[in-house]
Amino acid sequence: MVPVKDTVGCGDSFAAAIVWGYIHGHPVGTTLALANAVGAATAMGQGAGRNVANADTVIHLLESAPASVQSTGDTSQALSLLRQSIRSPEALAM
């Protein structure tokens, strides 16, 4: 659960993460874990545009996911992918 301020852009953010995971061939569970965190992070901001999800918020959400969610391993894989993309964006480019 996150404190929702505005849902504008949540679906777009979620879809963008799904497309990113698909294009890069990441497992479905990992992609969905990332997409859920990105959509949730967007809901925490007010309005669209520059207030969509940012990496710090997404990382925090993935790190603080309940143990029942983290037990699948998808959350930790999503967290690892996000951190890797921040360190080396060109490594994930097509």
Digit-coded pLDDT (tens) for 4-35: 999 999 999 999 999 999 999 999 999 999 99
CA distance 43 to 91: 29
> Which structure tokens are listed for 24?
């890069």
How far is the C-alpha of 81 from the C-alpha of 57, rounded, in Å?
A: 15
User: How confident is the model over 30-65, as pLDDT tens digits?
Assistant: 999 999 999 999 999 987 777 788 899 999 999 998
Write the burial class of residue 85 (CB in 10 Å: 0-12 exposed, 13-18 middle, 19+ buried): middle
* Residue 94, pLDDT score: 43
Q: What is the pTM of this model?
A: 0.86
Q: What is the pLDDT of residue 66?
A: 84
Structure tokens at 92: 């994930």
Q: Residues near 87 by Cβ (< 8 Å), separated by ≥ 6?
A: none
